[in-house]
């Protein structure tokens, strides 16, 4: 049961990576299809993460009565259909509706996926979260490659999107049959959730360090996704073709880092892996900022992929573990993950405008030092990722092997 649940959830992460990459990497084609002006485009792009945050907040409330597996089962098809809606529409109003639905559904999807990942990790008693996010990275690479092919052959958006949706949507629905809510499921399963009006989970103050880490990680990630090509071409003097390489390198190293990251967590613990990841990412930004040429700059983006890739999965895992330790009620972990997920979008919204404003007012080399410092601050909060030999709800003593990042099986 757990093995099938793990495989089906990994496919869910993979499908989400494909869908998101297909949207964001074909923004120029979307703009051309709908005739969206350069002044209006940022409004559309900002609306998606804002609505995703709303979807994540709504998910925190919904999981009090509905299992995360059910929310994921139906939010993933909505995301895929909304992506197709972006491709087939021909009016700005249609684009606005499709992107709005996409944003709301992505918020629910991201939150519920990570809820299931955290609960499965607790059931496995060892680190597996990085593997799920590795599947997302793999999907992102495939989606970006398909988008490149669509742009290369000048395919209409719906021609690029329809085959992908036609394959992923039924596969996701079939795979959703084996989703497992894991230990500590919410009230939607069996009616054991909190009563109406009852607060679930730990307070914001307790989660604040992890919220900051999530924000800083996504500021770093959005810096790479939005500015790496421009930086290489305008600052380091590369060709337009070479400027497309850093993001691909970043995605590949993110995949590699996440594929092997769980082994590092099992061997050295989550806190140590987060500290090393933050330092490596900070070194990557420093190399990028001081790079004399394009190839050294690409080395910096390689380090960024290896460093940043561990932060987000481990932050979700730490939030779920912390909530279970502080509040043993059903749904505490899910509520914590949903709250933390909002700061995914906060970091995304801050990162790109922040670097752009600093680059215009100061210099793009100097602007790269800001996410470097923010990511390095993560080292200060690394203790929040350490598992404690506390108790589960219900008074049962929890062995050390049950903690995130620890265990007798090389965890």
Q: pLDDT tens digits, residue range 247-260?
A: 889 999 999 999 99
Q: Give the least confident one: 104-118, 129-143, 187-201.
A: 187-201
- Token pair listed for 20: 């998101």
Q: How many domains in the chain? A: 2
pLDDT at residue 109 tops 50: yes
Domain with 315 in it: 202-395
Q: Are 379 and 275 in contact (CB under 8 A)?
A: yes
Q: Are 13 and 113 in contact (CB under 8 A)?
A: yes
Q: pLDDT tens digits, residue range 157-206?
A: 999 999 999 999 999 999 999 999 865 444 444 334 444 444 455 777 88
For residues 173 and 210, membership in a common domain is answered with no
How far apart CA 223 and CA 399 sit, in angstroms, is: 41
How far apart CA 222 and CA 39 sit, in angstroms, is: 20
How far apart CA 49 and CA 101 sit, in angstroms, is: 11
Position 190 in a domain:
no
Position 44 in a domain:
yes
Position 191 in a domain:
no
The predicted pLDDT at position 183 comes to 55
Q: Which of 115, 147, 181 is the last residue of a domain?
A: 181
For residues 216 and 148, membership in a common domain is answered with no
Overall average pLDDT of the 355-370 stretch: 94
- Token pair listed for 274: 């987060």
For residues 264 and 157, membership in a common domain is answered with no
Overall average pLDDT of the 297-307 stretch: 96
pLDDT at residue 284 tops 60: yes
- Token pair listed for 97: 């509706």
Position 284 in a domain:
yes
The predicted pLDDT at position 388 comes to 59
Q: Are 30 and 95 in contact (CB under 8 A)?
A: yes
Q: Give the least confident one: 72-76, 125-129, 326-330.
A: 326-330
The predicted pLDDT at position 200 comes to 52
137 Cβ neighbours under 8 A, 6+ residues apart: 17, 251, 254, 255, 258, 309
Position 272 in a domain:
yes
The predicted pLDDT at position 151 comes to 86
- Token pair listed for 340: 């933390």
State the alpha helices, DSSP H only, in 153-269.
Answer: 157-175, 204-230, 240-243, 245-268
For residues 40 and 144, membership in a common domain is answered with yes
For residues 16 and 97, membership in a common domain is answered with yes
Position 197 in a domain:
no
On average, the pLDDT of the chain sits at 88
Q: pLDDT tens digits, residue range 318-331?
A: 999 998 888 767 68
Q: Is 225 helix (H, G, I), strand (E, B) or coil?
A: helix
For residues 176 and 206, membership in a common domain is answered with no
Q: pLDDT tens digits, residue range 233-282?
A: 999 999 877 887 888 899 999 999 999 999 999 999 999 999 999 999 99
For residues 272 and 141, membership in a common domain is answered with no
For residues 239 and 306, membership in a common domain is answered with yes
Position 186 in a domain:
no
Radius of gyration in angstroms for the set of CA atoms belonging to the chain, rounded to a whole number: 21
Q: Are 322 and 336 in contact (CB under 8 A)?
A: yes
CB atoms within 10 A of CB 151: 14
Position 60 in a domain:
yes
Closest CA to 357 of 217, 216, 226: 226
Q: Domain containing 154 — which CATH number?
A: 1.20.1250.20
How far apart CA 142 and CA 299 sit, in angstroms, is: 22
For residues 15 and 160, membership in a common domain is answered with yes
How far apart CA 256 and CA 252 sit, in angstroms, is: 6
What percentage of the chain reaches a pLDDT higher than 70? 89
CB atoms within 10 A of CB 201: 26
pLDDT at residue 406 tops 50: no
For residues 96 and 244, membership in a common domain is answered with no
- Token pair listed for 387: 């598992």
Q: Are 138 and 145 in contact (CB under 8 A)?
A: no
The predicted pLDDT at position 229 comes to 87
Q: Which of 152, 181, 210 is the last residue of a domain?
A: 181
Q: pLDDT tens digits, residue range 20-66?
A: 999 988 888 999 999 999 889 889 989 999 999 999 999 999 998 99
For residues 249 and 110, membership in a common domain is answered with no
For residues 293 and 231, membership in a common domain is answered with yes
């Amino acid at each position: 049961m757990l093995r099938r649940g793990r495989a089906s959830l990994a496919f869910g992460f993979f499908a989400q990576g494909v869908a998101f990459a297909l949207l964001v990497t074909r923004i120029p084609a979307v703009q051309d299809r709908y005739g969206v002006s350069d002044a209006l485009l940022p409004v559309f792009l900002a609306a998606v993460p804002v609505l995703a945050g709303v979807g994540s907040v709504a998910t925190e409330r919904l999981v009090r009565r509905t299992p995360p597996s059910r929310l994921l089962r139906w939010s993933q098809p909505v995301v895929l259909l909304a992506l197709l809606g972006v491709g087939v529409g021909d009016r700005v109003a249609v684009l606005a509706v499709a992107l709005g639905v996409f944003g709301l559904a992505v918020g629910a999807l991201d939150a519920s996926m990570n809820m299931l990942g955290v609960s499965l990790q607790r059931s496995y008693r060892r680190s597996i979260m990085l593997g799920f996010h590795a599947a997302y990275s793999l999907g992102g690479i495939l989606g970006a490659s398909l988008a490149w092919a669509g742009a290369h052959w000048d395919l209409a958006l719906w021609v690029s999107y329809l085959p992908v949706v036609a394959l992923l949507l039924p596969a996701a629905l079939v795979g959703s049959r084996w989703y497992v809510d894991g230990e500590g499921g919410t009230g939607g399963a069996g009616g054991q959730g909190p009563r109406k009006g009852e607060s679930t989970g730990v307070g914001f103050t307790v989660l604040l360090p992890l919220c900051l880490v999530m924000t800083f990680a996504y500021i770093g990630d959005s810096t790479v996704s939005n500015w790496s090509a421009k930086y290489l071409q305008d600052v380091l003097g590369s060709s337009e073709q070479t400027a497309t390489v850093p993001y691909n390198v970043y995605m590949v190293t993110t995949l590699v880092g996440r594929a092997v990251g769980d082994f590092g967590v099992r061997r050295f613990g989550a806190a140590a892996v987060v500290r090393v990841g933050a330092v490596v990412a900070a070194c990557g930004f420093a190399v990028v900022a001081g790079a004399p040429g394009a190839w050294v700059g690409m080395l910096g983006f390689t380090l960024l992929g290896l460093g940043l890739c561990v932060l987000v999965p481990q932050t979700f895992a730490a939030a779920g573990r912390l909530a279970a330790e502080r509040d043993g009620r059903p749904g505490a972990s899910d509520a914590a993950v949903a709250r933390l997920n909002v700061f995914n979008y906060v970091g995304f919204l801050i990162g790109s405008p922040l670097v752009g404003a600093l680059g215009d007012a100061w210099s793009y080399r100097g602007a790269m030092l800001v996410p470097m410092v923010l990511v390095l601050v993560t080292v200060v909060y690394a203790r929040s990722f350490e598992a404690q030999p506390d108790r589960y709800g219900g008074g049962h003593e929890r062995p050390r092997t049950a903690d995130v990042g620890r265990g007798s099986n090389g965890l």
